[in-house]
Amino acid sequence: MTATTGVKGAPAPKQLGSDDYSLSRVPRDKRIGFWTMLLQWLAQSGSISQFTLGATIGVGMSFGQAFLAFTLGAVTLEIVIFAIGMAGMREGLATPMLTRWVGFGRNGSALVSFVIAVSLVGWFGVQNSIFGDSVSSLVGGPAWIWCVVAGLIVTVLVIFGFRYMAVFAKIVTPLFFGLVAWSVIRTLSDHSFSDLIHSPPPGAHISLAVAATAIAGGYMTGAIVSPEMTRYNKKSSHVFLQSASSMILSEYLVGMTGVVLAHLVKSSEVSSIVLSTSGVIGVLVVLMSTAKVNDWNLYGSSLGVVNFFQVVFGKRLHRGAVTIVLGLAGTVLSAVGIMTHFTEFLSLLGVAIPPIGGIIVAEYWFVRRMRKPLDDTREGQTLPATAPTWVPMSIVIWIAAFCVGKFYDGFIPALNSLITAFVLYTVLGLLGWIKPYGTSALDSDREDRGAPAPGASDTTPVGAA
């Protein structure tokens, strides 16, 4: 529960859930230990959808070709995650707040927040729909009921914030991978593993570019919003080791297992192997793992909405309350089957988000024309008193990079747009063509400038490490 200050001298009513430093730095003494954060990262690898992705690639590629594709995807994602995640760790800020001083300015950050929020809450609903349909086909019952169950579980989890999400990861991650290992070993026990990895692909050929696009492009949005997680890290080495471990588990173990299963069943429909061999307990574990993966979509969306409303309307919304609204909306829309009609639009946003990452990396690590106020206030764990209002050239670069990602067919669209934004911002920035216009003062609320007000419990306890 969180208390905030309303009228001067009088505490406002307690809010449901945790605000999780949505508009401030995460204090150093509230950062979370290595092993707790590692489980958060590994939990993102534990989903049936990653098996399905591996199986889809395995249908059209040999084991060796698929290994190369996953390597390309994993290396690409790790570079992006580390470059952006390091900025989030150093500053203790999520992506929407980070962009106020890194590339976009105060008003530009509102546009960034809006795009991220719509994309993430949209994918929250889509994944919820997919899960409902999958469980319904396996164990019966209307799909909408399973959508409601999964959606409510995720919403309640995210309302209470990072602390409870971390605890949930400690429970779900070992259970999920234990279940999957048991199901896969049981399935493969009567078959030659050597024969499977040397067998030809059972379906139409998939090119390396197409496979790499599916692997790297599908998780690129998650890479761009990695500061939502890394702002709780204590050290840069932790960011690298944890994200790299997640990539290894997700791409090589989970993804490549999907490839082997595809060669076994001659189809990409491998999720039933895990679910059908493990009964009711298996369905419950998969339900929890789906909640653990999908919680980051809702969490990131809530942070984006809080920043958007603070910038555009001057309203300081509580992240827990925002989560309730977004979670219920996404759950209802997925239950009535509407969200699946928006996948094309969400894929379009998926090309619009990578340029944000390219601009963040270019400004924070290379150009450094706007980040000095962050450097000056980092030691004191406060935010700068002002932020640039607009950075028009960043918007132009964002649009240009989006067009490259959308209309150029070669290589990986998401990576194309990210690289274009990075190169354009770096070159124009070093030439002095990227200039902020106007200066906006931050609101006087204490939670916007530094530590929470006295008596407030907007904290996330240090995790076990």
User: Model confidence over 343-354: pLDDT tens digits?
Assistant: 778 778 878 999
Provide the β-strand partners of residue 5.
Answer: 11
Q: What is the dihedral of CA 219, 223, 225, 231, to 10 degrees?
A: 140
* Average pLDDT value for residue range 181-202: 84
| DSSP per-residue letters across 309-348 | HHHHT-----HHHHHHHHHHHHHHHHHTT-GGGGHHHHHH
Instruction: Give the dihedral sign, CA 312/315/316/322.
Output: negative
Q: What's residue 224's pLDDT?
A: 92
* Average pLDDT value for residue range 358-378: 95
Q: 343-352 vs 392-407: helix axis angle to the nearest 10?
A: 130
Residues 274-318 pLDDT 10s: 666 566 666 777 777 777 888 999 999 999 999 999 999 999 999
CA–centroid distance for 80 within its chain = 12
Q: What's residue 148's pLDDT?
A: 93
31-447 classified as CATH 1.10.4160.10: yes
> What token pair was written down for 444?
């006087």
Distance from C-alpha of 98 to C-alpha of 106, rounded to nearest angstrom = 10
Rank 137-146, 243-252, 419-428 by mean pLDDT and report only the highest: 419-428
> What token pair was written down for 304?
């984006």
For the chain, domain boundaries: 31-447
3-state per-residue secondary structure call for 195-208? HHHCCCCCCCCCCH
Q: What's residue 2's pLDDT?
A: 40
Please tell me the least confidently modeled range out of 63-77, 137-151, 245-259, 272-286. Answer: 272-286
Q: What's residue 458's pLDDT?
A: 44
pLDDT bin (cut points 50, 70, 90) of residue 10 is: very low
Give me the chain's average pLDDT, please.
85
pLDDT at 65 over 80: yes
pLDDT bin (cut points 50, 70, 90) of residue 26 is: very high
Provide the β-strand partners of residue 440.
Answer: 387
* Average pLDDT value for residue range 189-213: 86
pLDDT bin (cut points 50, 70, 90) of residue 449 is: very low
| Residues 371/101, Cβ–Cβ less than 8 Å | yes
Q: What's residue 272's pLDDT?
A: 67
Distance from C-alpha of 309 to C-alpha of 258, rounded to nearest angstrom = 42
Largest CA distance in the chain: 73
Please tell me the least confidently modeled range out of 17-31, 74-88, 230-244, 261-275. Answer: 261-275
What are the CA-CA distances from residue 102 to residues 137, 357, 458 (Å)?
46, 10, 25
* Average pLDDT value for residue range 177-187: 81
Please tell me the least confidently modeled range out of 6-10, 139-143, 251-255. Answer: 6-10
pTM: 0.86
* Average pLDDT value for residue range 76-98: 95
pLDDT at 176 over 50: yes
